[in-house]
Structure 1
Amino acid sequence: MSEHNYPTGQQGWAGGQPQRDRPLPGEASVSGWSAYPPPGQGSHPTSVTGPGGPQVQTSRAFTARPRTRLTFLIGAFIGLVLGGGGVGLGWFATTAGLFASTAGQADADAACAALARTASLDLTKDLAGYIRWGSAVGMAQAAAEANPQYRALHDAISRPADIVADTFSTEGPEFADAVAKAREACGH
């Protein structure tokens, strides 16, 4: 062996693994197998002496338990259950459950905002106004479906559109009265 305890030739090798006579500087002194256990023999106890410390029996080979497929499957299952539960709770809360009155209020507000921006229902002068009024009718219907207290709002907003669809006219006291009632239902 050389002065650094590096193996040379066949000397100092056992079973293809390096062997050292003494520890390298800073290493604990090891009696028995100094670097590796012989191949095929697994772990075996070895006594170790640290710098100025007592001798302790220890096992040379320590292998951590490998993660199993079962661990992965359990984790994936828990993740799917929690994720699905969160999505289901959010879906329930925003559709028919916890926030139904809030959804109705938002739809009613949108219907009234569209109504406030509509100056005329005349198909020949302002087609965009007629379409916007129709959108307000749809939003008022959605509000009434979410919360029945908005049924009167839907009826008031849809009446002028029904008159125009029936008569193709935006003239007359019936139409003017229906528009005034629709704007009053929205607070305009």
Structure 2
Amino acid sequence: MSALIAHISDLHLDGTEETTRRATRTVDHLRSLHRSPDLLVVSGDIADHGAPEEYEQAAALLDLPFPVLVCPGNHDDRAALRSGLLGQDPSDGPVDTEHRGTGFTVLACDTSIPGRDDGHLGTETLERVRRTLDELPEDIPVLLAMHHPPRCACTTRSPTGWRSTTSRTWSPCWRSIRVSSASWPGTPTPGPPPLWPAAPSWWPPASPPR
């Protein structure tokens, strides 16, 4: 089977005509596809200023006939995103979400650092990725979505298998493919692992790396 996963990022909704028109054209295009996406991933900077009214606009825009998965970027406010877009109680903790589709799983990882432009994957988020990979069958592909691309989004071979440096877990490397986007370089931060903007990766691959 195959899955059609659409990916958009950096909507920067601010109520202005320009950003509203751009975002609406993008969503209208997704609606018009011959095959509806199995999932839409929105990887951060949904709002431009993190204001509640910007998430109200996002909620209306992303009210779509297919599943939508979001994670915050450096322009987003965690508490406002939770209450305005996810319908949850406001909280300043990491906004980590997931979608388990038919034959695939997507984990949206919060790489934001409140009050800063750069980002990192915190211990809580990394532990969640590890637990999920441990829970899922080995033949289920797992895609990691985040706003700030990892500085090193590579995999290395060990005597016991492939290591994904993105998730810092030992697993077949094709199980954790990265999708990310950001507008400008961040500054490396202490702790695992620092993140810099890079080109997005696409899923699914034709076959596991050899």
Bigger Rg over Cα: 1
Q: TM-score, normalised by structure 1?
A: 0.22
Please state which structure has a larger fraction of its residues in strand: 2
Instruction: Say which structure, 1 or 2, has more relative contact order (CA 8 Å, 6+ apart).
Output: 2
Q: TM-score, normalised by structure 2?
A: 0.21
